Amino acid sequence: MKRNEASSSNSSGGINVGESVVVDVGRRRSSCGYCKSGARSSVSHGLWARSLTIADYQELLDRGWRRSGCYLYKPEMESTCCPSYTIRLKADKFTPSKEQNRVFRRMKRYLDGIWDGKKQELPDKSDDLQGIAHGDELPSSTKIESLVTSEPKSKEDEILDYLSKQIDLAIQSLVESGDLPSDVQYPKSSVKKVSSTKKRRIVEGPEDLLYTNNISFQLAAIAKKAKRDGSSSDLSPKNIAEELVSAVQQSMNSPDLSVKACNGHINFYSLLKETPCDEQNHQVSLSSDISSQREEKGGGMVPENLQSKKRKLEIHLNRSSFDPEEFALYRKYQTKVHNDEPDDVTESSYTRFLIDTPLIYIPPTSDNTVPPCGFGSFHQQYRLDGRLIAVGVIDILPKCLSSKYLFWDPELAFLSLGKYSALQEISWVKENQGHCPSLEYYYLGYYIHSCPKMRYKAAYNPSELLCPLRYQWVRYDFAKPLLDRARYAVLSDYANAQDGAYSLTQEPGKRLKQKQNDLSDGNSNNSDMSGNGNANDTDMSGDRDSNGTDMSGDGDSNDTDMSDDESFPETNDQATVSGEDADIGDVLLGLRETRIKFMKLRRRLGPADQTSLENQLSRYMKVVGKQLSERMVYSLA
């Protein structure tokens, strides 16, 4: 693809190197990829971009456009069954939710080797952490540890943790031996210190009793509920406690401590003749034993069978290009997650969808206007011990990182790679603002309120939706009441944010109905659209759910390339030219290597050709805006 590398600047003062050349595809109708109903359809405007500057694409995004490969599309909001609102987030205002913080902690435990995703996940003792403070930097993978770091534990706490782990290991051994049912989830044990008051109430050796645990009662209740009829095993607390004590005695290595079962309780006694002043010495002695065992096992308090070598996660940002390893992962993802037929996932369709890009690359500069990677289209690779596990397809533009698509290894769904990568992309924006102050936003693609599976994007707070008529950004919490009432809403008509309050300026139902009627009247001659349906205008922002639970990405499963057929039919569009739309004389046209304003070409055309082109240019200027229509080249050849 030949590109003009001459430099120019746009009216907003942003970087704009080269020129944008587009071919008008017209209005297209296709089956909806969200409501999955053949009776409903998606209507969009389309452009084929031969080249596109990053500044021009930024402005197109801010008018509701998206891209799939070199195909640009903008939903016709008032006509489509599932209106798609552009959604964005100001990165430095982002506050992760408890669930989003949990994704980071889960990844950290996996990388530390203390959880493999298959066994029951170890208890998350930092679940009660508050969200990251407003304005604080969201940690990257190298900064996660600071989130869960707490004050050093006392020697007493270490002893209690150690004894609790010994009981957990004993429980696991009973499960493996068949003495306890294996198809249920058991609680973690917690050994407690016996207070002086309780010691005085105990007859048997009160002066020697230090710690106790009563998990046998919980295990008995769970096992009794889970065991099959006819089972003769005695799962009383007393018998379970005795079995656990037997297992603990074999694994525990402390010459100063003994363990006994007593009426269902598991008690730990000091073997030393203890006086009040000896208690601290006993703790030091036992702590030393625990420390030596920790060094032998190489993993501290983690049970030996759960210990594994640490894993290394690396994130690499590369220019968009074909990579056989990435394609193999993409095919695996599409067939396993979205149930595509393997024969349908071809290198050519993958290339047109996720590799081809019209964006003109801008290399980094030293003047704080371009980030170190430059501007353009990129693939962000996630590698685990060198193995490719996920790829985020993104565009980096003057104001934002725009998320286009994500595919990941289905075998690692338990890591929530969709959520994790979204958080990493937000973090990337924040980290690169120092290199490029204009880079402030994270664009998540389209938000479709009428499709519950797509509402997860609003969980990234505080997000904004783009008004489909006036292209003003409206806070999601202001827009939500409107979208709860109607699929399509002119958000800027109703948002009246005064002192943080939300109000409606008119009855939403009546106003929305009138607005839709007005818009449909203006397009009354376009009801019979001749699109061939290959432009399947689904959201190309990627599947951000790794678990298939609360963040479903199925709304993005219709990942059809929008440019399979490059021979686009003419549309039967006879829109009336009037008012502001008639001011099309400055629209920039391209005839091979020639650039000419429409006003200079108009007089050379016959009446029929002039009317037809005026209608096309009027529609074009309406959907891209006056400034872009005068800057981008509308190709006629």
Whole-angstrom Cα distance, residue 219 to residue 180?
9
pLDDT over threshold 60, residue 553: no
> For 451-455, 507-511, 598-602, which range has the lowest pLDDT when averaged over its residues?
507-511
For residue 636, what are its two tokens?
């006629």
For residue 385, what are its two tokens?
């011990």
Please indicate whether residue 582 or residue 45 has the higher confidence score (pLDDT): 45
Please indicate whether residue 128 or residue 308 has the higher confidence score (pLDDT): 308
pLDDT over threshold 90, residue 373: yes
- The two beta strands, 400-408 and 441-447, are parallel
Q: What is the pLDDT of residues 198-207, one digit of tens each?
A: 665 554 554 5
* Non-local CB neighbours of 291 within 8 Å, separated by 6+ positions: none
* Non-local CB neighbours of 517 within 8 Å, separated by 6+ positions: none
Q: What is the pLDDT of residues 322-366, one digit of tens each?
A: 999 999 999 999 999 999 999 999 999 999 999 999 999 999 988
For residue 404, what are its two tokens?
């286009």
Q: What is the pLDDT of residues 576-589, one digit of tens each?
A: 334 444 589 999 99
> For 170-174, 398-402, 624-628, which range has the lowest pLDDT when averaged over its residues?
170-174
Q: Which of 96-105, 217-226, 274-283, 560-569 is modeled with the greatest confidence?
A: 96-105
pLDDT over threshold 70, residue 307: no
Q: Where are the domains of the chain?
A: 7-95+310-556, 151-306, 579-635
CB 482 within 8 A of CB 449: no
> For 2-11, 88-97, 358-367, 505-514, which range has the lowest pLDDT when averaged over its residues?
2-11
Let me know how long the chain is: 637
The closest of 4, 129, 33, 53 to 398, measured between CA atoms, is 53
pLDDT attached to residue 40: 62
pLDDT attached to residue 201: 58
Determine the residue type at 341.
E
Q: Give percent of the chain above pLDDT 90.
A: 45
Whole-angstrom Cα distance, residue 248 to residue 454?
50
| Residue 440 CB-half CA count within 13 A | 6
For residue 373, what are its two tokens?
């990677």
CB 626 within 8 A of CB 58: no
CB 22 within 8 A of CB 358: no
* pLDDT tier at 272, thresholds 50, 70, 90: low
pLDDT attached to residue 197: 67
pLDDT attached to residue 268: 87
At how many degrees (to 10) do helices 155-177 and 279-297 cross? 50
Name the E strands within 228-375. Answer: 257-262, 265-270, 313-319
Q: Does domain 151-306 have CATH number 3.30.499.10?
A: no
SS3 390: strand
298 secondary structure, DSSP code: T
The closest of 391, 409, 423, 420 to 318, measured between CA atoms, is 391
- Hey, how many other C-beta atoms are within 10 angstroms of the C-beta on 497? 12
| Residue 25 CB-half CA count within 13 A | 28
Report the side by side order of strands in the sheet with 257-262: 192-193, 209-213, 265-270, 257-262
For residue 551, what are its two tokens?
């963040």
pLDDT over threshold 80, residue 104: yes
Q: What is the pLDDT of residues 484-495, one digit of tens each?
A: 998 899 998 766
Query: What average pLDDT does the segment 252-272 reach?
Result: 82
- Helix/strand/coil (H, E, C) string of 270-287? ECCCCCHHHHHHHHHHHH
